[in-house]
């Protein structure tokens, strides 16, 4: 079964653990009212960051087309439909985790959701301090999972992509749209659903943070081995690129948690297999945090027991197959504990959070790094991906994560540029938030820096190209590059031929990111952007590629630069074998460059306290 099903390959998927008896009946103390009532609402201007759709949405369906790959050739397979119920708690926040639960044979999703175990998950999702979504997926027609992968039966492995696409399609009219944290998709299976989950995990390990199997009914060795020995898309959580690397599923780190209240034979076989996989996975330094327990037999099958274990790690992008790391509190010494604020600015409820390192005493002024998330993302997932707080702890500066305002139809998502006034509205908003942070903390006004990912990268460039470009000492756009014509359309006023304001700029772009990193193609956004900012700083001589190995993985980053008197003023780094993400190593590299730059009150630039100017004959 060496064929690699592509299905609806897009951005991420859904995973974790649970326990259930298919014969369990609906809880007597739960009515169809209350938290189960499905509400398809509109954005609440007073609470724009809460879920506007919430409750239990039954009979959700999605039809998908699948193909399989044999070498370099793709073949059509056909169309398949899945049916599921999705629960979204009222307090669900943008880019939170989702738990995908594969239920036992001969069970309907809407019945399982109302069973004793289903309600354990629903109540936990609603009452946890970090509300999460739960998706219950049923076997075909509520009958049997095609565990043996009979070619005449349903293409079960592609159900993973179908489920993920169905619930998070931003443009779909679906009642159950969920803004999912792609690094926090967790898979749970019960009984036959557990046997099916083991096949999903073997076929698409790069999509799930972890997998939990509760009372698995079988260990399908031949099917599982076939998938484990298949070549995968190593960054399938975000891109269909990278197949040429030849990475096999067996080479990907796979956290697995198990429970059986009967015979331990099947559980022990899974445990032995996954211990071997996680011991021998490729790139041991980048595949997982070795301090985390990644294969474990649980003492209980309750939703609480599963959740307490599964929530501890995510699968982060950046390296092929992803990197298994702990979430904040489980991984960092800082025990990430930012200060949140919601404040009305220009009639909009705005949100941001500030991370203050333990070394801050208020006596000495410290630098400030402002970080912007991408479209449909949030101030919760960008800190996890970038780990700016770790750098702040080490170097002693403050980080400000700023939330974009949700807009768009039919599913409003956090964005930039989308309010009345476009970029100017968001530029004024960012300046206002920085001013509020300066009122509370002792910030060095000459050492404030701006970085962003994806649409946040676009906002970073738009700010630099505005009349307020000298507000920040340096800029670090990651994951998206804009040429002059696009920037002008976003309201940029910078004239590249007459500008005299020094605008330090460092781009990062992944090899598997959107349109790649074609900096030598002037027609590409990357090539046009790199050239534009060099011209804006009156630079014409570009260096050859240099390996960036300072405190980061050797060979992963190649940097090209335009320099002003040997000072690297405009930089572009190609991140090899990496998709659309913001990696911790990029935060380290950016800070090691940011910290050299400063501005005085008149907007003049300095590198290590030495003045840097643009000389032009106008």
Average pLDDT over residues 44-68: 81
CA 260/CA 190 separation, integer angstroms:
10
Most confident of 16-20, 92-96, 441-445: 441-445
Are 363 and 348 within 8 A, CB to CB?
A: no
Q: Mapping DSSP to helix (H, G, I), strand (E, B) and coil, where does residue 488 land?
A: helix
End-to-end C-alpha distance for the chain, whole angstroms:
68
How far is 377 from 452, CA to CA, in rounded Å? 11
How remote is the C-alpha of 504 from its chain's centroid? 27
pLDDT, average across residues 198-225: 94
The answer to whether 399 touches 371, Cβ cutoff 8 Å, is yes
Better-predicted residue by pLDDT, 27 or 380: 380
d(CA 307, CA 303): 6
How confident is residue 223, by pLDDT bands cut at 50, 70 and 90?
very high
Average pLDDT, the chain: 86
Residue 447's φ and ψ, nearest 5 degrees, are -130, 60
Q: Which residues of 154-171 are buried (b: 16+ CB within 10 A; e: fewer)?
A: bbbbbbbbbbbbbbbbee
**Rounded to two decimals, what is the model's pTM?**
0.90
Structure tokens at 439: 């009122």
Q: Judge residue 38's burial from the number of C-beta atoms within 10 Å of its C-beta, 0-12 exposed, 13-18 middle, 19 or more buried.
A: middle
Beta bridge mates, 465: none
Of 165-169, 475-479, 483-487, the range with the lowest mean pLDDT is 165-169
| 128/90 Cα distance (integer angstroms) | 12
Predicted confidence at residue 167, as pLDDT, reads 67
Phi-psi region of 95 (alpha: psi -120 to 50; beta: other; left: phi over 0): left
> What span, in angstroms and rounded, lies between the C-alpha atoms of 242 and 235?
7
Q: In the 8-state DSSP scheme, what is residue 422?
A: T
Whether residue 303 has pLDDT greater than 60: yes
Residue for token pair 């079988």: 218
Report, as an integer, the average pLDDT of 351-357.
Answer: 94
Element (H, E) at 335: none
Task: Convert the pLDDT of each residue in 231-255 to its tens digit.
Answer: 988 887 677 788 889 999 999 999 9
Q: 614: how many CB neighbours lie within 10 A of its CB?
A: 17
Backbone angles phi, psi at 460, to 5 degrees: -60, -45
The Cβ-side half-sphere exposure at 521, using a 13 Å CA radius, reads 9
Lowest pLDDT segment from 17-31, 205-219, 423-437 = 17-31
State how far the Cα of 17 lies from the Cα of 97, in Å rounded to an integer: 13
Give, for 338, the enclosing helix (H) or strand (E): none
* C-alpha to C-alpha distance for 551 and 437, rounded to whole angstroms: 30
Question: Binning pLDDT at 50, 70 and 90, where does residue 68 land?
Answer: low
3 state DSSP class of 541: coil
Cα-Cα-Cα-Cα dihedral sign, residues 386, 388, 389, 390? positive
Going by pLDDT thresholds of 50, 70 and 90, the confidence category of residue 277 is: very high
Provide DSSP, 175-236.
Answer: TT---EEEEEEEEEEETHHHHHHHHHHHH-GGG-SEEEEES-----HHHHHHHHTSB--TTT
- Can you tell me the mean pLDDT for 365-383? 93
Find the helix or strand (DSSP H, E) in which 113 lies. Answer: helix 109-113
pLDDT at 291: 79
pLDDT tens per residue across span 400-434: 999 999 988 777 889 999 999 999 999 999 999 99
* Domains of the chain and CATH, by start: 4-326 (3.40.50.1820), 339-612 (3.40.50.1820)
Q: Which residue is associated with the tokens 């738009």?
A: 462
116-127 and 303-310 helices cross at what angle (nearest 10)?
50
Residues 392 and 590 sit within 8 Å (Cβ to Cβ) = no
How far is residue 9's CA from residue 5's CA, in Å, rounded to a whole number? 9
Q: How confident is the model at residue 175 (pLDDT cuts 50, 70, 90)?
A: low
Q: Of the given ranges (113-122, 241-250, 446-455), which has the lowest mean pLDDT?
A: 241-250
Measured CA to CA in angstroms, residue 308 lies from 180, 214, 381, 450 at distances of 19, 15, 20, 36
Confidence of residue 172 (pLDDT cuts 50, 70, 90): low
Average pLDDT over residues 4-22: 31
What per-residue confidence (pLDDT) applies to 159? Answer: 77
Q: How far apart are CA 598 and CA 370, in angstroms?
A: 15
Confidence of residue 461 (pLDDT cuts 50, 70, 90): very high
Is 457's pLDDT higher than 90?
yes
**Lowest mean pLDDT: which of 151-160, 203-212, 301-310, 486-495?**
151-160
Q: How confident is the model at residue 510 (pLDDT cuts 50, 70, 90)?
A: very high
pLDDT in tens, 530-568: 999 999 999 998 988 898 877 677 889 999 999 999 999
Q: Per DSSP, what are the bridge partners of residue 68? A: 5, 75
| Distance (Å, whole) CA 430 – CA 440 | 16
pLDDT in tens, 137-167: 999 999 999 999 888 888 887 776 677 666 6
Q: Which residues of 338-347 are buried (b: 16+ CB within 10 A; e: fewer)?
A: beeeeeeeee
Confidence of residue 66 (pLDDT cuts 50, 70, 90): low
């Amino acid at each position: 079964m060496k064929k690699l099903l592509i299905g609806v390959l897009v951005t991420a998927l859904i995973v974790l653990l649970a326990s259930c008896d298919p014969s369990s009946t609906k809880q007597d103390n739960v009515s169809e009212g209350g938290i189960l009532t499905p509400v398809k609402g509109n954005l609440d201007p007073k609470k724009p960051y809460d879920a506007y759709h919430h409750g239990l949405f039954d009979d959700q369906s999605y039809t998908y087309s699948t193909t399989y790959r044999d070498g370099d050739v793709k073949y059509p397979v056909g169309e398949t439909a899945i049916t599921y119920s999705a629960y979204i708690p009222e307090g669900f926040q943008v880019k939170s985790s989702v738990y995908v639960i594969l239920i036992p044979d001969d069970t309907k999703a809407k019945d399982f959701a109302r069973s004793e175990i289903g309600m354990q998950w629903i109540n936990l999702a609603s009452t946890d301090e970090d509300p999460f979504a739960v998706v219950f997926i049923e076997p075909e027609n509520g009958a049997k999972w095609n565990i043996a992968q009979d070619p005449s039966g349903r293409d079960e492995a592609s159900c993973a992509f179908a489920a993920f696409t169905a619930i998070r399609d931003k443009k779909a009219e679906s009642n159950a749209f969920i803004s999912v944290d792609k690094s926090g998709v967790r898979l749970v299976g019960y009984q036959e659903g557990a046997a099916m989950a083991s096949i999903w995990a073997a076929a698409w390990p790069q999509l799930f943070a972890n997998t939990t199997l509760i009372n698995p009914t079988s260990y399908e060795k031949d099917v599982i081995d076939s998938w484990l020995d298949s070549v995968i898309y190593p960054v399938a959580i975000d891109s269909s690129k990278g197949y040429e690397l030849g990475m096999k599923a067996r080479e990907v780190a796979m956290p697995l948690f198990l429970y059986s209240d009967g015979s331990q034979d099947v559980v022990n076989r899974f445990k032995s297999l996954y211990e071997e996989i996680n011991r021998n996975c490729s790139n041991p330094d980048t595949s997982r945090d070795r301090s985390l327990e990644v294969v474990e037999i649980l003492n209980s099958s309750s939703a609480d027991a599963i959740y307490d274990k599964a929530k501890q790690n995510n699968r982060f992008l950046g390296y092929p197959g992803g990197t298994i790391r702990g979430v904040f509190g489980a991984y960092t010494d800082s025990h990430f504990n930012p200060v949140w604020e919601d404040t009305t600015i220009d009639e909009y409820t705005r949100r941001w959070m500030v991370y203050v390192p333990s070394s801050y005493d208020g006596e000495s002024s410290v630098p400030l790094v402002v970080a912007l998330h991408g479209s449909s993302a949030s101030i919760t997932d960008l800190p996890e991906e970038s780990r700016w707080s770790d750098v702040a702890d080490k170097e002693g500066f403050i980080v400000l994560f700023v939330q974009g305002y949700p807009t768009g139809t039919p599913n409003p998502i956090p964005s930039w540029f989308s309010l009345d006034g476009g970029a100017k509205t968001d530029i004024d908003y960012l300046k206002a938030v920085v001013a509020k942070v300066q009122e509370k903390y002792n910030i060095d006004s000459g050492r404030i820096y701006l970085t962003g990912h994806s649409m946040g990268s676009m906002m970073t460039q738009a700010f630099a190209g505005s009349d307020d470009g000298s507000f920040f000492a340096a800029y670090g756009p990651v994951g998206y590059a804009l040429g002059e014509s696009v920037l002008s359309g976003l309201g940029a006023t910078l004239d590249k031929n007459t500008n005299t304001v020094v605008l330090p700029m460092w781009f990062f772009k992944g090899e598997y990111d959107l349109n790649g990193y074609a900096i030598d193609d002037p027609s590409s956004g990357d090539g046009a952007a790199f050239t534009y900012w060099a011209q804006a700083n009156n630079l014409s001589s570009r260096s050859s590629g240099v390996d960036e190995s300072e405190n980061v993985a050797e060979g992963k980053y190649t940097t090209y630069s335009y320099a002003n008197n040997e000072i690297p003023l405009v930089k572009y780094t190609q991140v090899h074998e990496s998709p659309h993400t913001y990696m911790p190593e990029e935060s380290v590299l950016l800070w090691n460059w940011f910290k050299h730059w400063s501005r005085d009150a008149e907007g003049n630039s300095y590198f290590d306290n030495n003045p840097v100017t643009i000389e032009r004959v106008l």
